Structure formats: C-alpha cells, structure tokens
Amino acid sequence: MPEEMTAAEPEYAAYVALDWADREHAWVLELPGGKKESGKLSQTPEAIDAWAAELARRFGGRPVAVGLEQSRGALIYALQKYSHLVLYPIHPSTSASYRKALFPSGGKSDPVDADLLLDLLVRHRDRLRRLQPDDPRTRKLQLLTEKRRQLVDQQTAQTNRLTDLLKVYFPQAVEWLRPLDTPMSIAFLQRWPTLPQLKKEDPEVVRRFFFQSGSRSHQRIQTRLAQIQQARPAIEDEAIVGPCVLMAQALLKVITALREGIAALQQACQEAFASHPDAEIFSSFPGAGPVLAPRLLAAFGSQRDRWNTVEDMQPYTGIPPITVTSGNSLQIHFRWKCPKFLRQTFHEHAGCSIQHSQWARAFYDHQCQVKNHDHQAAVRSLAYKWQRILFRCWKNRTPYQESFHQERLLRQHAAAPALPSNRRSGTAGSNPVHFQFKMVAGFSKLSDATS
C-alpha cells in the first residue's frame, strides 16, 4: 500500500462532499458529532473564495476534508490553493457503483450524490488517496504531454476524415501523398484540390513542387507524373465534387492549425523537460526520444514516496492483467479500467524499445515465437519488464545503462537452475524478476554481442 495512505492523517474539523456541476455544486458538510449541513455553491472564483474563507474562519484554519468527483478540472484546481482544505478525489465509477448498491432503482439527484460522496469520505476514507500534487514544473510537464497527445489524436481524426473525402472524388491523391497530414500533402491539395485541375498544370511545375517540398527521389517524382497523366476522375458529378472540395479545404486548414499547435506544445515540452532534474534519467532509456522521455517522466512524477514498491504502482498503470477468482474458476484478462494515457505511455515506449535494445528485442521475439502471443500482448509483457527497470532507476535517481542490464541478465542466466518444462516464465503474471534467458529466443545472438 502506498506510504501516503498509511501515514497518519490530520484531525479534521469537518468533512465536506461536493457534487460538482458546470455552474452550481451541491455540498454536504458533516461535523465530528454527526450533524449535517447542506447547500449550493456557484462555479465562480468569487463564490468559491468566499465559501473557502468561511470554512477557514468557522473552524479556525483547522484542516477540512473535502471529497469530490474530480482529480483534474476547474473545481479541484480552484480548491487547491486553500491550505486548510485537504482534497480527496473520488473516482466517478466508485461513486456510481456505490449509488447503484444503495439505490437499485436508479434514482439520482445532486443532493443525494453529494450525500453518498460524504458517506464514502467519512466511512471509507482508508480506501481513498489524499491529493498531494507534484511540484509545479512536473505538473506543467504532465499537462503539456497530455494536451499534446490530445491534439495528435485530433489531427489523426481529421486526417482520417480527409482521407474518406478524397476516396470519394480524388482517390489517387491518397496514394500519391500518403501520409496526408504532411506539409507537402497539405500544400499539394490546397493548390490542386481536384484531379482535373492537376492534369491541366504543366508537368514541370508539378515536378518542381515535389522537389522543393522535400521529395528528392527522381524516380518517384517521374512515377507520380506518369500516373497523373494516366489518371481518370473517380466521379464528375459536380453536386458531389463541389461540397467535397469545400469540406476538404476546411479540413486542411484544421490540420494545419493542429500541426502548429502540436509543434508549439512539443517545444514547450522539450523546454520543461530539459530543465527538470530527472531529465537525464528518462533520456537514458532506449526508445525514449523527445516525445516519450517527457511522457515517462510525467508518468512517474517527482514524489518518490508515492509508491513503496513497483508492485504498488503497476496495477494503477493498467499494464498487468487482472485476475478474477471465484470458487474453482480463475480468469486472467486485460485490465480495462485504468488511466488510458498512462498505459499508452508505457506501451508505446516498450514498442519503441524493441528497435533500440537487444534484450528487449530478444524478449519480444520470445513472446511472439515461443509463447505465440500477438504483437500487443507481447509489447504489454515487455512494458511490464520495463516498468520494473524504470521504477528502480527512478527511485535510485540513476540513469539506465544497457550494458549493465545485459550483464545482469547474463549473470542471472548463468546462476539460474533449469526450469520445469510446464512452468511459465517471463510474463506479467509470473515472477517478473526472474527473466530466464534460457527460454528467450535470440539469446545466443545477444550473448555473442555482449561477450
């Protein structure tokens, strides 16, 4: 269990639960003797400040426990600046399940929800985690990486919409310009939005456009020019082509704006990451480039007392599978409920590490070739291994060294006894410390490279 959950908590002067909404929040307050009060709180800085100041005046500045269904957002950000308020974020699914258990009919109202949150806060506080924000530079990096990824997802969505449109009236462009979200592709479609307009252009102008846009392969340019001359319009119905072209031009502007936003956020990420004291640690990992290294740092944060062991952290990330037992039945399946961006960070790093780490490649090949796992399952198993290494380097404030880790694995291989043929090893469900290279495909190649 994390240290902060077992540490002694302050003696609270009162307990408050807030059922937040867009404009007005329902609140319920309970005093230590059991007396309750309730009311409404407007979502304005002035109203929140007056409400928090009244709690400080009423209870002499003593700590007040506040439970609410937010870990991020306007309300919890507004409450963080008050030192006498100790915040307990409650996951929405927790309160929803609690409400369903007490009200099977499905009845719901804001005052009732606030009362249920208060009940969770007062009676089940040992199951909740007090909000202890990271230092400002780490929190800034965390938000920068998440906002950047949101724009990347938006760019992907808008590019897919553009692809669907082009397949209707200009399908050749999809093949000639793939990927469609590059500056060259955007400029091409803005200049020649339809095939007839492109065919009317002087081939030398088109050739010069490709060359100046960074496409320097003479053979590829010649192939494109020949295909342009031979191409025929997919449709010629202006009732369809006209609206599609207008929509495509609008999407091109959106994609351009998203690209600029992503570049600005990436620049801010790199600046925030470079100034962070843990930057050297996370830059040292194979596959952790300018995008993933800041995300890994943001995933761990700077509070090294948040997790006592890696086993405390890993279930929260969603990488390990979940085990469900009942009587004689046993099921192990994918963990659905977890912070998706956090799981994505470790999964993507593991996938990138395959191209930069010999032992990671050997482990991945073993998962695919020997255990017959598909790509995603193999990468998750590798991510589980990387998490343990990342955690130890983070705890010890030590950069990763590939040669040191390989030598350690070779020593384990030399000292480890042969395993029974029916015993599984190297998966997220087994003991993760004993990575037996005897069972890993490609070990001989790794052994030769490090000898």
Mind listing the pLDDT tens digit for each residue in 388-432? Answer: 999 999 999 999 998 887 787 777 776 655 544 443 444 444 433
Between CA 32 and CA 54 the distance in angstroms is 18
Tens of pLDDT, residues 15-44: 999 988 888 889 999 998 889 999 999 989
Which of the residue ranges 121-135, 271-285, 333-347 has the most confident prediction, judged by mean pLDDT?
271-285
pTM: 0.81
H-helix or E-strand spanning residue 96: helix 92-102
Looking at residue 206, its pLDDT comes to: 95
My answer on whether omega of the bond before 179 falls inside 30° of 0, hence cis, is yes
Q: In which band, very low, low, confident or very high, does the pLDDT at 109 lie, cut at 50, 70 and 90? A: confident
Q: Give just the sign of the alpha carbon dihedral 87, 88, 91, 92.
A: negative
Mean pLDDT of 361-370: 94
The percentage of residues in the chain with a pLDDT greater than 90, rounded to a whole number, is: 67
Q: What is the pLDDT of residues 367-387, one digit of tens each?
A: 999 999 999 999 999 999 999
Q: What is the CATH number of domain 140-271?
A: 1.10.287
pLDDT at site 408: 79
Its CATH architecture, for the domain 3-133, is: 2-Layer Sandwich (3.30)
Q: Is the confidence at residue 12, as pLDDT, over 70?
A: yes
Nearest to 45 by CA among 37, 36, 53: 53
Domain limits, the chain: 3-133, 140-271, 282-416+425-450
Of the ranges 2-11, 186-195, 329-338, the best mean pLDDT one: 186-195
% helix, strand, coil for the chain, step of 5: 60, 10, 35
Q: In the block, which residue shows the tokens 């369809």? A: 240
Question: Residue 440: pLDDT above 50?
Answer: no
Answer yes or no: is pLDDT of 137 > 90: yes
Q: What pLDDT does 432 receive?
A: 38
